[in-house]
């Protein structure tokens, strides 16, 4: 059985909506103080410089106001950091993640089994990292990649074992804590996540995947992902996320930094299916050198509110960026997502394709920025965002900002907002499809131009999630 078949046959709802009894080895107090940060750093046995960076980030977090003045932004008034448990170390023996699923406690093993991760690893992945609560619990990569010098490991382990390269790249030039309040929060209490290093001229031909699972009520997950792709290398990183639903809110505030070397190619795919009590406030950024190519593929289905704008800085001549974004908001959800691209060099190229679907009173917003710097001659950008609404209760906005400071450029922008048509539904019903199937068919057609560009293993998973959301059986 291929991996696609496996994913197709798995009951997606069963896979996400289960809770495990909370069993942890170490759990921090609720809230955020200097003491909390010191305790986390000590528990991880970190070098002094990392503690200093954490404390500096904490200070910045405390000084920065909560973002409230963005036009039409999601309501974050419920997000009270003092109510969050920022750090839970699950009860496992091996730090840095076991390399065999059997070595994990049964309830954790069972969790990832249900999510289909070990099965996918066997069939279609070069490596897998799995994070449970605040720590990576499983980490493995095929030997042939290790032999070629590829590193795929737990971020905490990277701080210890690849200290110099981490010290140089970690929240320094790509996503500094000063970027925004939640980046600062992340810098103070980050834990877990992946470190990926691909040496020059190495192509990792099967994707590596990280899966992030929050199990406990009222916790925050703050994993950090750092990807360094050296000159001429190529890698595809997939992240998946989910959590069972609780009444108290959860907070996810990840940080992602990607360094795309000269003529390197990085694809970063996310399937976000957080439970509908989760605030998903991430900062993701890539810097692409000369001729480098960055691709962001994001599917946002879950969460109560998402604010996420993956960004790419096209730093070197001829660098390019491609964003594909699919967002879906149902009852009580506010998905505010988009893309940011900075054209800082000549001959750079970007495309943004965004599709959003709002139903049952949900709200989607495309918020994007394309900046073309003075001197970035012969650059081109094309932004296309389409929104589909199911009913009059749902809303969909589009805020595509453009800052063009160079005249020799090619800029294209298209936006459509439509409501699903009653006549279209009736037409399909008259052919035998029931109301739900008819709507689902229209939605899958709406996102089709995007899904056909996606890697197959990603598209299958995404389609399953869209179907599940359409059935309205979650949350």
Candidates 339, 447, 454, 468: give the one binding another protein (CB under 8 A): 447
11 binds another protein (CB under 8 A): yes
| Residue listed under structure tokens 């037409």 | 427
Residues β-bridged to residue 399 = 367
Distance (Å) of CA 231 to CA 1, 14, 289: 36, 42, 9
User: Toward another protein, which CB reaches closer, 90 or 116?
Assistant: 116
Report in angstroms how near the CB of residue 373 gets to another protein at its nearest. 36
By CB under 8 A, the residues from 397 to 426 that bind another protein are 421-424, 426
Beta strands at 220-221 and 208-213: parallel, antiparallel or unpaired: unpaired
Least Cα distance to 383 among 407, 399, 396 occurs for 399
User: Toward another protein, which CB reaches closer, 143 or 422?
Assistant: 422
User: Toward another protein, which CB reaches closer, 76 or 425?
Assistant: 425
User: Toward another protein, which CB reaches closer, 53 or 439?
Assistant: 439
Cβ atoms 335, 300 nearer than 8 A = yes
The contact pattern for another protein, residues 110-149, with x = CB under 8 A and - = no contact, is ---xx-x---------------------------------
Question: What is the per-residue burial (b if ≥16 Cβ within 10 Å, else e) of 366-383?
Answer: bbbbbbbbeebbebbbeb
User: Toward another protein, which CB reaches closer, 72 or 445?
Assistant: 445
CA–CA distance, 42 with 54 (Å, rounded to integer)? 12
446 binds another protein (CB under 8 A): yes
Report in angstroms how near the CB of residue 78 gets to another protein at its nearest. 33
435 binds another protein (CB under 8 A): yes
CA–CA distance, 54 with 123 (Å, rounded to integer)? 39
167 binds another protein (CB under 8 A): no
User: Toward another protein, which CB reaches closer, 341 or 420?
Assistant: 420
CA–CA distance, 3 with 125 (Å, rounded to integer)? 9
428 binds another protein (CB under 8 A): yes
- Enumerate residues 6+ apart whose C-beta is below 8 A from 168: none
Cβ atoms 345, 374 nearer than 8 A = no
Candidates 62, 142, 178, 444: give the one binding another protein (CB under 8 A): 444
Q: Which residues bind another protein (CB under 8 A)?
A: 8-11, 14, 113-114, 116, 421-424, 426-435, 437-438, 441-442, 444-449
């Amino acid at each position: 059985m291929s991996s696609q078949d496996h994913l197709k046959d798995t009951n997606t709802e069963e896979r996400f909506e289960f809770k495990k009894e909370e069993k942890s080895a170490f759990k921090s107090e609720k809230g955020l103080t200097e003491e909390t940060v010191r305790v986390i750093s000590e528990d991880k046995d970190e070098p002094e410089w990392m503690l200093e960076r954490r404390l500096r980030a904490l200070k910045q977090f405390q000084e920065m106001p909560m973002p409230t003045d963005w036009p039409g932004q999601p309501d974050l008034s419920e997000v009270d950091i003092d109510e969050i448990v920022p750090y839970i170390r699950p009860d496992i023996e091996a730090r840095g993640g076991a390399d065999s699923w059997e070595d994990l406690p049964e309830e954790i093993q069972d969790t990832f089994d249900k999510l289909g991760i070990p099965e996918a690893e066997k069939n279609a992945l070069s490596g897998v990292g799995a994070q449970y609560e605040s720590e990576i619990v499983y980490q493995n990569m095929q030997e042939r990649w290790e032999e070629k010098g590829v590193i795929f490991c737990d971020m905490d382990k990277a701080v210890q074992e690849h200290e110099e390269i981490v010290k140089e790249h970690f929240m320094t030039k790509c996503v500094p804590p000063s970027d925004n309040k939640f980046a600062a929060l992340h810098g103070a209490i980050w834990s877990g996540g992946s470190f990926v290093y691909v040496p020059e001229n190495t192509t990792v031909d099967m994707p590596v995947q990280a899966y992030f699972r929050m199990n406990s009520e009222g916790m925050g997950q703050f994993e950090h992902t750092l990807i360094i792709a050296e000159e001429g290398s190529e890698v595809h990183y997939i992240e998946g996320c989910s959590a069972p639903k609780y009444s108290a809110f959860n907070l996810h505030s990840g940080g992602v930094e990607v360094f795309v070397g000269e003529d390197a190619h990085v694809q970063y795919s996310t399937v976000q299916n957080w439970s509908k009590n989760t605030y998903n406030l991430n900062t993701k950024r890539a810097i692409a050198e000369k001729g480098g190519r960055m691709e962001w593929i994001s599917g946002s289905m879950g969460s109560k509110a998402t604010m996420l704008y993956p960004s790419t800085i096209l730093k070197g001549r001829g660098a390019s960026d491609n964003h594909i974004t699919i967002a879906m908001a149902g009852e009580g959800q506010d998905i505010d997502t988009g893309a940011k691209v900075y054209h800082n060099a000549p001959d750079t190229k970007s495309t943004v394709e965004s599709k959003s679907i709002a139903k049952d009173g949900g709200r989607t917003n495309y918020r994007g920025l394309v900046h073309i710097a003075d001197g970035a001659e012969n650059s081109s950008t094309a932004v296309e965002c389409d929104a589909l609404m199911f009913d009059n209760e749902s809303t969909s906005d589009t805020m595509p900002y453009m800052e063009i400071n160079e005249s020799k450029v090619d800029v294209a922008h298209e936006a459509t907002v439509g409501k699903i048509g009653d006549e279209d539904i009736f037409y399909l019903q008259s052919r035998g499809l029931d109301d739900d199937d008819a709507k689902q068919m229209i939605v899958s057609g709406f996102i089709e131009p995007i899904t056909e560009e996606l890697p197959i293993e990603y598209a299958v998973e995404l389609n399953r999630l869209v179907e599940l959301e359409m059935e309205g059986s979650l949350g």
